[in-house]
Amino acid sequence: MNANPALLSSPHSDVLSPAALSSSSSSPEEATRRLLDEIKRRAKACVMTKDWYWADKLYARGIELLEGLDDDDGGGSGDDSNKKEELAILHSNRSLTLFHLTQLSQSQIEAQTAIDLNPDYVKAYWRLGQCSAALGDWDGALGAYEKAVEIDSRDDGEGGGKMVKALQKEVEKCKVKVEQERLLIMEGKFDDEAAAIGSASDGAGGGTNNRKKSVSTTTAAVAPAAATTKPTATSKPSVATGTTENATIVKGGGDDDEFTQSDHVRGYKIVNGKKTSFFHHEMTEEEKKLIGDIAPKKLNPNDSSGAAGTATGTGDATAAGAAAPAPTEGASAWNKAGTWEERDITAWASDTLTSTLLGCSYSVPDSDVTIKVVKANKMSELHDGGHASVAAVRGKKRYIYEFGYSLEWEMTGGNDEDDEDINGTLVLPDIDGTVASGEWHDVSDFTVVGGIKNSKRTFLMKYVRDGGLRQVIEDRIDDWVALLKATY
C-alpha cells in the first residue's frame, strides 16, 4: 500500500500506514491478524459515530489485509469458508459506508461481492436492496429483499428470523414501486424511451430489447382514444337560455368545439357574458339591501366617522342606528358577534409608563436620604421595543402589554461622605400582564456605580433593590395598570 499524505495525517495513520506491519516484532501472520482486529474495531466505532469517510478507508484496508492472508490464516481453522465469510462481512460493511457517502454504484458492487463470497449472508442482500432502490432499480431491489426474506426465514440459528418483519416491509414497498412503474408504462408515460430502445433493437437485429419493444406495442394498443377537443380561444360558445337568474348554461360552440350536455354539471355557466363557476352567485339589489353596508367601521362606536347609523344601508341613518343592537363594549360598530378585535395602544402605554416610573422616589425613615429614579430607559432590544393593545372578544376585554425598562437611580442626602453621588441601575426586563397586582416583577440586573463600602452596599440592597424604592416602583406600576384598564 503506497503512502498517502492524507491518510498519514489522519487519526488512524498508525493502522492505515504501510509501516504498521513492518514495525511489529511478531510473525507476519500474527501481526496482520492483530492489525486486522484493530482496524475492524476502529471501523465499527466510526460507523457508530457516523464518520463514514474513515470507516470506508478502514474497511478497505481491512479487506486488503484479509485478502493477503493465506487461507489457513483467515479464520484460524484452516477452512477457506471462514475467510470468505469474514470477507463477506467486510464487503457488506463497506457497502454501508459507501451508501452513506452517496457512492451508490460502488456500494452496489461491494454488496454483490459480499453475496458472491457468502450467498447465505442476509445483510449483504439487505445492502444490495438499499442500493438498488436508491438507484431506482426497483426490480433488483425487490429480488434482493425477497432473497433475504427467504434466507432469514429458514435460518433457525442464533439471530435467525429477526429481520423478517423489516425485510417484508421493504418487499411490500418495492412491490408498490414496481407496480407503479408497470402502470406508467401501460399508460404510455414511457413511450419515447420505449420507442427509442425499440428502434435501436431493430437496427441491431433485435433480441436484447424485446421486452421494451413489446411494451411500446402494448402501449399503442391500449392507448385511449383522443378526447373531444375543447373550445379554442377564438371560438365563442353559443349560449342557451338557462333556468338560473342572471346566468345561462353553456350548451354549444363552434365547429367541433361544442360543450357537452353535462357541462352544467361540471360547473360551467355564463354570468354577464363571462364564463365562471356554476356556484358563483351575483347578489340582487334586494339582497344587497338586506345585507346592508358591511364595510369596516371605527373601533370606537362613538366616533362620528364610524357612521354606525348607516349599518343597514337604507339611507335612514337615524332610524337604522336606533334599531341596531348595541355592539360589544370596546368593539367596532359592525362587530356585533363579538369576535376577536384588537386595538394598538403602544404609544399611549409607553408614554404613560415612562412618566410613571420617572416619578418614583423614596425617603429613608429617620434620615434625610432620598432615593429616586432619574431616568427611565425603555429597552428596545426586548419585546421588539415593547407593545400594548386592548382586545375585545365575546363581550370581554383583554389587556396585552409587555415592556422592559432600565431605571437609573440616584441617592442624595445623608451625613457621611459616602452618601454623596451614589447612583446605579435597576433593570426590570418583563413588565407584562402575567404579573398580578401586588406581586413584584423580576429584576435581571442591579448595579452601583463606583466603589462603596460593604456596609453601604447592604444599605442599598435594603432600600433600593429589595425594598424602599423598589416597593414604590412596584406600587406605581400597579397604579399604571389600573389607569390602563380605566382608560380603555
Question: For the segment 251-264, what is each residue's pLDDT rounded down to a tens digit?
Answer: 444 444 344 545 54
Dig out the grid coordinates for 411 from the structure: 441617592
Whole-angstrom Cα distance, residue 438 to residue 426? 19
From the number of C-beta atoms within 10 Å of its C-beta (0-12, 13-18, 19+), residue 211 rates as exposed
pLDDT at 362: 92
Q: Is the pLDDT of residue 11 over 90?
A: no
Summarised one tens digit per residue, pLDDT across range 56-73 is 988 998 898 888 887 655
Under the banding of pLDDT at 50, 70 and 90, the label for residue 318 is: very low
Dig out the grid coordinates for 233 from the structure: 380561444
Under the banding of pLDDT at 50, 70 and 90, the label for residue 4 is: low
Q: What is the mean pLDDT of residues 136-164?
A: 80
pLDDT at 117: 92
Summarised one tens digit per residue, pLDDT across range 98-149 is 999 999 999 999 999 999 999 999 999 999 999 999 999 999 999 999 999 9
* CA proximity to 95, closest of 69, 73, 123: 123
Element (H, E) at 139: helix 138-154
**Taking all residues of the chain, what is their mean pLDDT, rounded to a whole number?**
74
* CA proximity to 151, closest of 164, 166, 138, 139: 164
Q: Is the pLDDT of residue 191 over 60?
A: no
pLDDT at 26: 67
Q: What is the mean pLDDT of residues 22-45?
A: 81
pLDDT at 68: 82
The amino acid occupying position 176 is V
pLDDT at 74: 46
Q: Is the pLDDT of residue 315 over 70?
A: no
Residues facing residue 220 across a β-bridge: none
